[in-house]
């Protein structure tokens, strides 16, 4: 662009970067995690409701949708982190080493309550078969495969689904959505001055998201 401008202004005779075009490798397209579109959510709930594997896995998958967290956040969660109003994930377990607060909705509390019953007194929210160890990192993704979503959906893709629907609703500020996804501001100056949690706003947003999913689940149950 600089050389084309220079040529137009009479400051250069040719664009030498043209000679480099064949030598440079083309940029690789960004690979997004496979996710659900809004219209796919009811049928997803219909399949989840018919899942014939462990109930703990089914409940954990539904909780992942409602809380928008990363897989490791739930796999490694302990009951000490989970209150009635919030799930506070300690900084030591977060990707960006910052404590992350997840406002809990009535539905997410109900799902946590069921997981507590299924955990059998374990300190872990989703204990695996080996004592003191959580479920495998592949447990939930393999469940999606059994449900017919191989190469069509990932657990991490739930986060993209939530982000897309929340942004397209026009009801919520992008900063609130990004904070709920535990994304850190890329602009270093803005990051240094913006320590806002937007907790009140995010609590309302998460309630709206849970209600949205609950309505989709009701439709899915009719389809199932």
Q: Which residue has the tokens 């959580």?
A: 134
Whether the model pTM is above 0.85: no
> Which one of the listed residues 47, 114, 156, 160 is annotated catalytic?
156
CA distances from 207 to 80, 201, 213, 219 (A): 23, 10, 10, 19
Q: Is residue 79 part of a domain?
A: yes
Q: Which of 70, 75, 179, 217 is catalytic?
A: 70
Question: What backbone phi and psi angles, to 5 degrees, belong to 65?
Answer: -60, -45
Our answer to whether residue 193 is catalytic in this structure is yes
Q: Does residue 210 fall inside a structural domain?
A: yes
Which has more confidence, 171 or 98?
A: 171
- The Cβ-side half-sphere exposure at 174, using a 13 Å CA radius, reads 3
DSSP, res 47 = H
Q: Inform me whether the pLDDT recorded for 27 exceeds 50.
A: yes
Judge whether 35 lies within some domain: no
- pLDDT (mean) for 51-68: 98
Does 72 map to a domain? yes
| In the chain, % of residues over pLDDT 90 | 72
Helix, strand, or coil (residue 134): strand
Greater model confidence, 5 or 188 = 5
Q: Are strands 100-103 and 86-89 parallel, antiparallel or unpaired?
A: antiparallel
pLDDT reported for residue 197: 81
The tens digit of pLDDT for each residue in 134-160 reads 999 999 999 999 999 999 999 999 999
Residue 33 placed within a domain: no
Predicted confidence at residue 14, as pLDDT, reads 81
Q: How many domains does the chain have?
A: 1
The whole-number pLDDT of residue 97 equals: 77
For range 204-216, the mean pLDDT: 98
Locus of tokens 């539904």:
62
With CA atoms as reference, report the closest residue to 207 among 140, 135, 92, 109: 109
Task: Indicate whether 20 belongs to any domain.
Answer: no
Structural domain boundaries, residue 118: 41-223
> Average pLDDT in the 32-42 region?
88
**pLDDT category, 30, cuts 50, 70, 90?**
very low
Tokens of 198: 């937007």
Confidence of residue 221 (pLDDT cuts 50, 70, 90): confident
156 is catalytic: yes
Query: Is 9 part of any domain?
Result: no
Catalytic residue chosen out of the listed positions 4, 88, 95, 191: 95
User: The domain spanning residue 110 has which CATH number?
Assistant: 1.10.443.10
Question: Does residue 68 fall inside a structural domain?
Answer: yes
Q: So what's the pLDDT on residue 188? A: 54
Whether 66 sits among the annotated catalytic residues: the reply is no
Annotated active-site residue 70? The verdict is yes
Residues 6+ apart with CB under 8 A from 49: 217, 220, 221, 224
Decide if 196 contacts 178 (C-beta within 8 A): no
């Amino acid at each position: 662009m600089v050389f084309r401008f220079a040529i137009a202004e009479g400051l250069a005779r040719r664009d030498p970067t043209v000679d480099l075009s064949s030598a440079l490798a083309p940029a690789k397209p960004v690979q997004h995690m496979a996710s659900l579109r809004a219209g796919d959510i009811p049928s997803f709930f219909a399949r989840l409701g018919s899942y014939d594997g462990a109930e703990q896995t089914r409940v954990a998958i539904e909780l992942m949708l409602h809380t928008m967290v990363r897989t490791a956040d739930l796999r490694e969660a302990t009951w000490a982190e989970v209150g009635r109003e919030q799930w506070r994930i300690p900084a030591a377990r977060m990707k960006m080493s910052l404590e992350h607060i997840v406002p809990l909705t009535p539905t997410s509390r109900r799902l946590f309550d069921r997981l507590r019953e299924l955990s059998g007194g374990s300190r872990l929210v989703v204990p695996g078969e080996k004592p003191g160890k959580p479920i495998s990192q592949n447990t939930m993704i393999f469940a999606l495969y059994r449900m017919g979503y191989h190469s069509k959906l990932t657990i991490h893709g739930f986060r993209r689904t939530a982000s897309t629907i929340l942004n397209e609703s026009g009801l919520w500020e992008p900063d609130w959505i990004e904070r709920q996804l535990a994304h850190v501001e890329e602009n270093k100056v803005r990051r240094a001055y913006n320590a806002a949690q937007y907790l009140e706003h995010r609590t309302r947003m998460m309630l709206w998201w849970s209600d949205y999913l609950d309505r989709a689940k009701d439709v899915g149950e009719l389809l199932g």
